A and B are shown apart, each in its own frame.
Chain A
Amino acid sequence: MIAGAYFYPLPNQLRVRSDIGVIANGGRTEDFYIHLDRDRIIQAQESPVAAFSERGVQAELFKLRNTNRKVIGLASRMTGLIPAANGELELAVNWLLLLPSRGSFVLSQNPSPLSPLLAEGANIELNIKRGRMVVGDREFSELAGSYVEVALSEDTDGDGKAENLLLLSTQLVGGDPA
Protein backbone atom coordinates (compact mmCIF):
# COMPACT_ATOMS: atom_id res chain seq x y z
CA MET A 1 0.00 0.00 0.00
CA ILE A 2 2.81 2.36 0.90
CA ALA A 3 4.61 1.54 -2.36
CA GLY A 4 1.33 2.04 -4.25
CA ALA A 5 0.82 5.47 -2.71
CA TYR A 6 4.43 6.42 -3.39
CA PHE A 7 4.18 5.51 -7.07
CA TYR A 8 0.57 6.65 -7.58
CA PRO A 9 0.51 8.78 -10.75
CA LEU A 10 -0.76 12.16 -9.51
CA PRO A 11 -1.01 14.87 -12.20
CA ASN A 12 2.51 15.71 -13.34
CA GLN A 13 4.06 17.86 -16.05
CA LEU A 14 5.53 16.63 -19.30
CA ARG A 15 8.94 18.11 -19.96
CA VAL A 16 9.16 19.21 -23.60
CA ARG A 17 12.58 19.78 -25.15
CA SER A 18 13.50 23.47 -25.07
CA ASP A 19 14.23 25.12 -28.42
CA ILE A 20 16.84 27.59 -27.24
CA GLY A 21 19.38 29.35 -29.43
CA VAL A 22 22.64 30.78 -28.17
CA ILE A 23 23.57 34.42 -28.86
CA ALA A 24 27.20 35.40 -29.39
CA ASN A 25 28.71 37.10 -26.32
CA GLY A 26 26.11 35.67 -23.97
CA GLY A 27 22.42 35.19 -23.76
CA ARG A 28 19.85 32.99 -25.40
CA THR A 29 16.94 33.30 -27.79
CA GLU A 30 13.70 31.40 -27.69
CA ASP A 31 10.71 31.86 -29.98
CA PHE A 32 7.10 31.16 -29.07
CA TYR A 33 4.21 31.00 -31.52
CA ILE A 34 0.45 31.46 -31.20
CA HIS A 35 -1.98 30.47 -33.97
CA LEU A 36 -4.51 33.22 -33.48
CA ASP A 37 -7.55 31.18 -34.47
CA ARG A 38 -6.70 27.69 -33.23
CA ASP A 39 -4.93 28.63 -30.01
CA ARG A 40 -7.30 31.22 -28.61
CA ILE A 41 -8.91 29.81 -25.47
CA ILE A 42 -10.90 32.93 -24.63
CA GLN A 43 -11.09 36.55 -25.58
CA ALA A 44 -12.82 38.19 -22.67
CA GLN A 45 -13.59 41.47 -24.34
CA GLU A 46 -17.34 41.41 -23.78
CA SER A 47 -17.66 39.17 -20.75
CA PRO A 48 -16.50 38.97 -17.99
CA VAL A 49 -14.51 42.19 -18.32
CA ALA A 50 -17.43 44.12 -19.83
CA ALA A 51 -17.39 46.29 -16.72
CA PHE A 52 -14.20 47.87 -18.06
CA SER A 53 -14.90 47.84 -21.79
CA GLU A 54 -14.99 51.61 -22.11
CA ARG A 55 -11.51 51.76 -20.60
CA GLY A 56 -9.69 49.85 -23.35
CA VAL A 57 -9.46 46.66 -21.34
CA GLN A 58 -8.90 43.27 -22.94
CA ALA A 59 -7.98 39.86 -21.50
CA GLU A 60 -7.11 36.88 -23.69
CA LEU A 61 -5.94 33.31 -23.07
CA PHE A 62 -3.97 31.29 -25.61
CA LYS A 63 -2.12 28.03 -26.04
CA LEU A 64 1.58 28.56 -26.63
CA ARG A 65 3.74 26.69 -29.16
CA ASN A 66 7.46 26.21 -29.71
CA THR A 67 9.29 26.52 -33.04
CA ASN A 68 8.13 23.02 -34.02
CA ARG A 69 4.60 24.33 -33.45
CA LYS A 70 4.07 21.85 -30.63
CA VAL A 71 1.89 23.11 -27.75
CA ILE A 72 4.18 23.61 -24.77
CA GLY A 73 2.28 25.98 -22.49
CA LEU A 74 -0.27 28.71 -21.93
CA ALA A 75 -0.19 32.47 -22.35
CA SER A 76 -2.41 35.34 -21.27
CA ARG A 77 -2.41 38.81 -22.80
CA MET A 78 -3.84 41.73 -20.83
CA THR A 79 -4.31 45.12 -22.39
CA GLY A 80 -5.27 48.29 -20.56
CA LEU A 81 -4.44 51.92 -19.94
CA ILE A 82 -1.88 53.15 -17.44
CA PRO A 83 -0.83 56.67 -16.44
CA ALA A 84 2.20 58.07 -18.29
CA ALA A 85 4.83 60.36 -16.78
CA ASN A 86 3.12 63.38 -18.36
CA GLY A 87 -0.16 62.52 -16.65
CA GLU A 88 -1.89 61.26 -19.78
CA LEU A 89 -2.94 57.65 -20.27
CA GLU A 90 -1.01 55.23 -22.47
CA LEU A 91 -1.61 51.70 -23.71
CA ALA A 92 0.07 48.87 -21.81
CA VAL A 93 0.22 45.19 -22.79
CA ASN A 94 1.31 42.37 -20.44
CA TRP A 95 2.07 38.81 -21.50
CA LEU A 96 2.11 36.07 -18.86
CA LEU A 97 3.70 32.87 -20.23
CA LEU A 98 3.48 29.53 -18.42
CA LEU A 99 5.60 26.56 -19.48
CA PRO A 100 4.39 24.01 -16.88
CA SER A 101 7.57 21.96 -16.66
CA ARG A 102 9.90 24.99 -16.73
CA GLY A 103 8.27 27.96 -15.01
CA SER A 104 6.66 31.23 -15.97
CA PHE A 105 7.64 34.76 -16.93
CA VAL A 106 6.08 38.11 -17.71
CA LEU A 107 6.71 40.27 -20.76
CA SER A 108 5.65 43.91 -20.75
CA GLN A 109 5.29 45.80 -24.01
CA ASN A 110 6.74 49.29 -24.09
CA PRO A 111 3.74 51.57 -23.44
CA SER A 112 2.53 53.40 -26.53
CA PRO A 113 0.80 56.78 -26.61
CA LEU A 114 -2.89 56.73 -27.38
CA SER A 115 -2.51 58.46 -30.72
CA PRO A 116 -4.72 56.25 -32.96
CA LEU A 117 -1.90 55.40 -35.34
CA LEU A 118 0.80 54.72 -32.78
CA ALA A 119 -1.49 52.68 -30.55
CA GLU A 120 -1.52 50.03 -33.27
CA GLY A 121 2.17 49.32 -32.78
CA ALA A 122 5.58 50.80 -32.34
CA ASN A 123 6.53 50.04 -35.93
CA ILE A 124 3.41 50.28 -38.04
CA GLU A 125 4.89 49.12 -41.34
CA LEU A 126 6.30 45.88 -39.95
CA ASN A 127 3.75 45.60 -37.12
CA ILE A 128 6.50 44.84 -34.64
CA LYS A 129 6.02 45.57 -30.96
CA ARG A 130 8.83 45.54 -28.45
CA GLY A 131 9.12 45.18 -24.72
CA ARG A 132 11.07 43.70 -21.84
CA MET A 133 10.95 40.71 -19.57
CA VAL A 134 9.83 41.89 -16.14
CA VAL A 135 10.05 38.85 -13.87
CA GLY A 136 10.16 35.07 -14.00
CA ASP A 137 10.35 32.02 -11.78
CA ARG A 138 12.16 28.64 -11.75
CA GLU A 139 14.10 28.33 -15.01
CA PHE A 140 13.44 31.99 -15.79
CA SER A 141 14.11 33.41 -12.33
CA GLU A 142 17.68 34.54 -13.05
CA LEU A 143 17.01 35.85 -16.56
CA ALA A 144 16.31 39.32 -17.89
CA GLY A 145 16.02 40.73 -21.38
CA SER A 146 13.75 41.86 -24.15
CA TYR A 147 11.28 40.54 -26.70
CA VAL A 148 9.61 41.45 -29.96
CA GLU A 149 6.06 40.58 -30.90
CA VAL A 150 5.52 40.10 -34.62
CA ALA A 151 2.24 39.44 -36.41
CA LEU A 152 2.79 36.88 -39.19
CA SER A 153 0.66 35.27 -41.84
CA GLU A 154 1.69 31.89 -43.23
CA ASP A 155 0.33 28.65 -44.63
CA THR A 156 1.01 26.32 -41.68
CA ASP A 157 -1.06 23.34 -42.87
CA GLY A 158 -0.02 23.36 -46.51
CA ASP A 159 -3.67 23.75 -47.54
CA GLY A 160 -3.08 27.00 -49.38
CA LYS A 161 -4.80 29.10 -46.72
CA ALA A 162 -2.77 31.63 -44.81
CA GLU A 163 -3.14 31.61 -41.04
CA ASN A 164 -2.51 34.51 -38.69
CA LEU A 165 0.23 33.89 -36.18
CA LEU A 166 1.86 35.81 -33.40
CA LEU A 167 5.57 35.35 -32.80
CA LEU A 168 6.99 36.23 -29.40
CA SER A 169 10.74 36.23 -29.85
CA THR A 170 12.68 36.53 -26.59
CA GLN A 171 16.33 37.41 -26.00
CA LEU A 172 17.26 36.69 -22.41
CA VAL A 173 20.52 36.78 -20.48
CA GLY A 174 21.45 35.58 -17.02
CA GLY A 175 21.53 38.14 -14.25
CA ASP A 176 24.86 39.42 -12.96
CA PRO A 177 25.64 37.41 -9.82
CA ALA A 178 27.52 40.39 -8.42
Chain B
Amino acid sequence: MRKWVVLLGLLGGGLTGLMLVIFNPLVNDSLQREIVGGGVYRYASSDVYGMHSTTDGLLNIGRLLRGPADFDEAAIRNTVAAVMVLRDSSDTPVAFATRLSASERNSNLLFGEFRTRSYWNVFWPDQGSVYMQSLESRRELLHDGMSSFFLGGEPQAGGDRYMLTMAGEDAGNRIVGISGLYSSATGHYSEVLLNPANDPNIQRGELQLSIKR
Protein backbone atom coordinates (compact mmCIF):
# COMPACT_ATOMS: atom_id res chain seq x y z
CA MET B 1 0.00 0.00 0.00
CA ARG B 2 2.78 2.35 1.01
CA LYS B 3 4.56 1.67 -2.30
CA TRP B 4 1.46 2.65 -4.24
CA VAL B 5 1.12 5.87 -2.30
CA VAL B 6 4.77 6.73 -2.99
CA LEU B 7 4.41 5.89 -6.69
CA LEU B 8 1.20 7.89 -7.06
CA GLY B 9 2.79 10.76 -5.18
CA LEU B 10 5.78 10.75 -7.49
CA LEU B 11 3.62 10.61 -10.61
CA GLY B 12 1.27 13.29 -9.32
CA GLY B 13 4.18 15.49 -8.31
CA GLY B 14 5.86 15.02 -11.68
CA LEU B 15 2.69 15.85 -13.59
CA THR B 16 2.01 18.90 -11.42
CA GLY B 17 5.57 20.08 -11.97
CA LEU B 18 5.24 19.62 -15.73
CA MET B 19 1.97 21.58 -15.77
CA LEU B 20 3.56 24.35 -13.70
CA VAL B 21 6.49 24.59 -16.11
CA ILE B 22 4.31 24.73 -19.23
CA PHE B 23 1.51 26.86 -17.77
CA ASN B 24 3.78 28.94 -15.57
CA PRO B 25 1.78 32.13 -14.91
CA LEU B 26 4.93 34.02 -13.92
CA VAL B 27 6.46 33.72 -17.39
CA ASN B 28 5.12 36.06 -20.01
CA ASP B 29 6.79 36.76 -23.35
CA SER B 30 6.38 40.36 -24.41
CA LEU B 31 4.80 40.29 -27.86
CA GLN B 32 4.68 42.89 -30.62
CA ARG B 33 1.44 44.84 -31.06
CA GLU B 34 -0.58 44.23 -34.20
CA ILE B 35 0.07 46.79 -36.94
CA VAL B 36 -3.01 47.88 -38.86
CA GLY B 37 -3.08 49.79 -42.13
CA GLY B 38 -1.87 49.35 -45.69
CA GLY B 39 1.09 47.06 -45.11
CA VAL B 40 -0.85 43.94 -44.17
CA TYR B 41 -0.30 40.82 -46.28
CA ARG B 42 -1.59 37.29 -45.96
CA TYR B 43 0.18 34.11 -46.96
CA ALA B 44 -0.75 30.43 -47.20
CA SER B 45 2.09 28.12 -48.14
CA SER B 46 2.62 24.40 -48.43
CA ASP B 47 6.25 25.03 -49.40
CA VAL B 48 7.50 24.82 -45.82
CA TYR B 49 10.43 22.52 -45.06
CA GLY B 50 12.28 21.61 -41.88
CA MET B 51 11.51 20.84 -38.27
CA HIS B 52 7.98 19.99 -37.14
CA SER B 53 6.30 23.14 -35.84
CA THR B 54 3.69 21.13 -33.93
CA THR B 55 3.69 20.90 -30.13
CA ASP B 56 5.76 17.71 -30.14
CA GLY B 57 8.19 19.35 -32.55
CA LEU B 58 8.59 22.32 -30.21
CA LEU B 59 9.29 19.90 -27.34
CA ASN B 60 11.95 18.17 -29.46
CA ILE B 61 10.08 14.86 -29.61
CA GLY B 62 8.52 15.36 -33.07
CA ARG B 63 11.14 13.12 -34.65
CA LEU B 64 10.23 10.30 -32.26
CA LEU B 65 6.48 10.60 -32.88
CA ARG B 66 6.32 11.67 -36.53
CA GLY B 67 9.54 10.39 -38.01
CA PRO B 68 12.46 12.39 -39.34
CA ALA B 69 11.96 16.00 -40.34
CA ASP B 70 12.98 17.25 -43.79
CA PHE B 71 16.57 18.04 -42.88
CA ASP B 72 18.85 15.31 -41.53
CA GLU B 73 22.06 17.29 -41.23
CA ALA B 74 22.84 18.17 -37.61
CA ALA B 75 23.53 21.86 -38.31
CA ILE B 76 20.10 22.51 -39.85
CA ARG B 77 17.97 19.95 -38.01
CA ASN B 78 16.16 22.67 -36.05
CA THR B 79 15.51 25.06 -38.90
CA VAL B 80 12.58 25.85 -41.20
CA ALA B 81 12.72 27.16 -44.77
CA ALA B 82 9.69 28.41 -46.69
CA VAL B 83 8.58 30.25 -49.80
CA MET B 84 5.50 32.47 -49.55
CA VAL B 85 3.35 34.55 -51.87
CA LEU B 86 2.05 37.62 -50.09
CA ARG B 87 -1.48 38.79 -50.92
CA ASP B 88 -3.05 42.14 -50.13
CA SER B 89 -6.50 42.76 -48.63
CA SER B 90 -8.17 42.10 -52.02
CA ASP B 91 -6.38 38.71 -52.24
CA THR B 92 -4.19 39.92 -55.10
CA PRO B 93 -0.63 38.51 -55.07
CA VAL B 94 1.63 41.54 -54.66
CA ALA B 95 4.94 40.18 -53.38
CA PHE B 96 6.82 36.97 -52.74
CA ALA B 97 9.10 36.04 -49.91
CA THR B 98 11.43 33.44 -48.47
CA ARG B 99 11.62 32.86 -44.74
CA LEU B 100 14.45 31.05 -42.98
CA SER B 101 14.12 30.40 -39.27
CA ALA B 102 16.00 28.55 -36.58
CA SER B 103 15.16 27.68 -33.01
CA GLU B 104 16.87 30.10 -30.65
CA ARG B 105 20.05 28.84 -29.05
CA ASN B 106 19.88 27.85 -25.40
CA SER B 107 16.10 28.08 -25.00
CA ASN B 108 15.07 26.80 -21.60
CA LEU B 109 11.94 24.85 -20.66
CA LEU B 110 12.08 25.96 -17.03
CA PHE B 111 11.75 29.60 -18.07
CA GLY B 112 9.07 28.84 -20.66
CA GLU B 113 11.32 29.87 -23.57
CA PHE B 114 10.18 28.36 -26.86
CA ARG B 115 11.73 30.81 -29.26
CA THR B 116 12.78 30.93 -32.88
CA ARG B 117 14.61 33.59 -34.84
CA SER B 118 13.18 34.31 -38.28
CA TYR B 119 14.66 36.05 -41.29
CA TRP B 120 12.65 37.20 -44.31
CA ASN B 121 13.54 38.38 -47.77
CA VAL B 122 10.47 40.06 -49.28
CA PHE B 123 10.50 41.01 -52.97
CA TRP B 124 7.91 43.24 -54.64
CA PRO B 125 8.23 42.57 -58.41
CA ASP B 126 9.23 45.64 -60.42
CA GLN B 127 9.76 47.58 -57.17
CA GLY B 128 12.41 46.24 -54.82
CA SER B 129 13.17 44.11 -51.78
CA VAL B 130 13.71 44.22 -48.03
CA TYR B 131 15.24 42.06 -45.28
CA MET B 132 13.33 41.49 -42.06
CA GLN B 133 14.31 39.74 -38.86
CA SER B 134 12.89 39.15 -35.42
CA LEU B 135 12.77 36.86 -32.43
CA GLU B 136 9.53 34.88 -32.18
CA SER B 137 7.78 33.24 -29.25
CA ARG B 138 6.01 29.91 -29.73
CA ARG B 139 5.00 29.74 -26.06
CA GLU B 140 1.30 30.41 -26.66
CA LEU B 141 1.23 27.77 -29.40
CA LEU B 142 2.78 25.21 -27.03
CA HIS B 143 0.47 26.25 -24.20
CA ASP B 144 -2.67 25.78 -26.36
CA GLY B 145 -1.34 22.60 -27.96
CA MET B 146 -0.71 21.03 -24.55
CA SER B 147 -4.14 22.17 -23.31
CA SER B 148 -5.77 20.51 -26.32
CA PHE B 149 -3.77 17.32 -25.70
CA PHE B 150 -4.70 17.13 -21.99
CA LEU B 151 -8.37 17.53 -22.99
CA GLY B 152 -8.10 14.50 -25.26
CA GLY B 153 -7.52 16.26 -28.59
CA GLU B 154 -4.60 16.54 -30.98
CA PRO B 155 -1.48 18.28 -29.61
CA GLN B 156 -2.16 21.24 -31.89
CA ALA B 157 -3.03 24.82 -30.93
CA GLY B 158 -6.64 25.48 -31.89
CA GLY B 159 -6.81 29.29 -31.76
CA ASP B 160 -7.45 31.58 -34.74
CA ARG B 161 -4.58 34.04 -34.33
CA TYR B 162 -1.18 33.70 -32.66
CA MET B 163 1.13 36.68 -32.54
CA LEU B 164 4.63 35.27 -32.99
CA THR B 165 6.81 38.37 -33.09
CA MET B 166 8.34 39.46 -29.81
CA ALA B 167 8.65 43.08 -28.72
CA GLY B 168 11.56 44.84 -27.09
CA GLU B 169 15.13 45.64 -28.02
CA ASP B 170 16.36 42.07 -27.47
CA ALA B 171 13.97 40.81 -30.16
CA GLY B 172 15.92 42.79 -32.77
CA ASN B 173 12.77 43.37 -34.82
CA ARG B 174 13.68 45.40 -37.89
CA ILE B 175 13.20 45.92 -41.61
CA VAL B 176 16.20 46.91 -43.73
CA GLY B 177 15.96 47.89 -47.40
CA ILE B 178 17.96 45.92 -49.97
CA SER B 179 17.16 47.11 -53.46
CA GLY B 180 15.08 49.26 -55.82
CA LEU B 181 12.46 51.59 -54.37
CA TYR B 182 13.04 49.95 -50.98
CA SER B 183 16.83 50.34 -50.92
CA SER B 184 16.78 52.83 -48.04
CA ALA B 185 13.71 51.46 -46.30
CA THR B 186 13.56 51.00 -42.53
CA GLY B 187 10.83 49.81 -40.20
CA HIS B 188 9.47 46.97 -38.14
CA TYR B 189 6.90 44.22 -38.55
CA SER B 190 4.65 41.68 -36.87
CA GLU B 191 3.76 38.16 -37.90
CA VAL B 192 0.54 36.44 -36.88
CA LEU B 193 0.01 32.72 -37.42
CA LEU B 194 -3.57 31.96 -38.53
CA ASN B 195 -5.58 28.80 -37.71
CA PRO B 196 -2.60 26.46 -37.23
CA ALA B 197 -4.90 23.51 -36.43
CA ASN B 198 -6.80 23.65 -39.74
CA ASP B 199 -4.18 21.87 -41.80
CA PRO B 200 -0.70 21.29 -40.36
CA ASN B 201 0.65 20.91 -43.91
CA ILE B 202 -0.29 24.45 -44.92
CA GLN B 203 1.09 27.39 -43.01
CA ARG B 204 -1.16 30.44 -43.00
CA GLY B 205 -0.22 33.78 -41.62
CA GLU B 206 -0.37 37.52 -41.75
CA LEU B 207 2.57 39.87 -42.12
CA GLN B 208 2.03 43.39 -40.87
CA LEU B 209 4.66 45.81 -42.12
CA SER B 210 5.42 49.33 -40.96
CA ILE B 211 7.89 50.65 -43.54
CA LYS B 212 9.41 54.08 -44.13
CA ARG B 213 10.92 54.44 -47.59
Interface residue ranges, A against B (CB under 8 Å): 1-2, 4-6, 8-14, 16, 41-42, 44, 47-49, 51-52, 55-57, 59, 61, 63, 70-74, 76, 78, 80-83, 89, 92, 94, 96, 98, 100-101, 104, 106, 108, 111, 134-135, 137
Known: A2-B17, A63-B73, A104-B100. A12 touches B93 (CB 8 A): no
Are B107 and A12 in contact (CB-based, < 8 A)? yes
Are B60 and A59 in contact (CB-based, < 8 A)? no
Instruction: Tell me the residues in window 95-142 of chain B with beta carbons closer than 8 Å to chain A beta carbons.
Output: 96-98, 100-103, 105-110, 113-114, 119-121, 123, 125-129, 131, 133
Are B108 and A10 in contact (CB-based, < 8 A)? yes
List of 5 A-B pairs having minimum Cβ-Cβ separation, nearest first? A1-B17, A82-B180, A76-B98, A100-B102, A11-B78
Comparing B1-9, B44-52, B191-199, the segment that makes contact with chain A is B44-52
Listed by A's residue number, 24 A-B pairs whose Cβ atoms lie within 8 Å are A1-B18, A5-B17, A9-B60, A16-B75, A41-B81, A44-B96, A48-B46, A49-B83, A49-B96, A55-B125, A56-B125, A61-B83, A63-B73, A76-B121, A80-B126, A80-B129, A83-B128, A94-B123, A94-B179, A100-B76, A100-B78, A106-B121, A111-B179, A135-B178
- Give Cα A14–Cα B109 distance, bound, in whole angstroms: 18
Majority-rule SS of B interface residues: mixed
Are A78 and B98 in contact (CB-based, < 8 A)? yes
Are B96 and A59 in contact (CB-based, < 8 A)? yes
- Give Cα A134–Cα B184 distance, bound, in whole angstroms: 11
CB-CB under 8 A from B164, the residues of chain A are: none
- Give Cα A52–Cα B60 distance, bound, in whole angstroms: 37
Known: A10-B107, A41-B49. A135 touches B121 (CB 8 A): no
Q: Which of B58, B84, B179 has a CB less than 8 Å from the CB of A48?
A: B84
Are B76 and A108 in contact (CB-based, < 8 A)? no
| Smallest CB gap from A101: residue in B | B105
Are B79 and A83 in contact (CB-based, < 8 A)? no
B200: interface (CB < 8 Å) = no
Instruction: Tell me the residues in window 31-63 of chain B with beta carbons closer than 8 Å to chain A beta carbons.
Output: 45-47, 49, 51, 57-60
CB-CB under 8 A from B131, the residues of chain A are: 96, 106, 134-135
- Give Cα A137–Cα B100 distance, bound, in whole angstroms: 13
CB-CB under 8 A from A108, the residues of chain B are: 178-179
B65: interface (CB < 8 Å) = no
CB-CB under 8 A from A9, the residues of chain B are: 60
CB-CB under 8 A from B179, the residues of chain A are: 82, 92, 94, 108, 111
Q: Which of A6, A11, A82, A94 has a CB less than 8 Å from the CB of B103?
A: A11
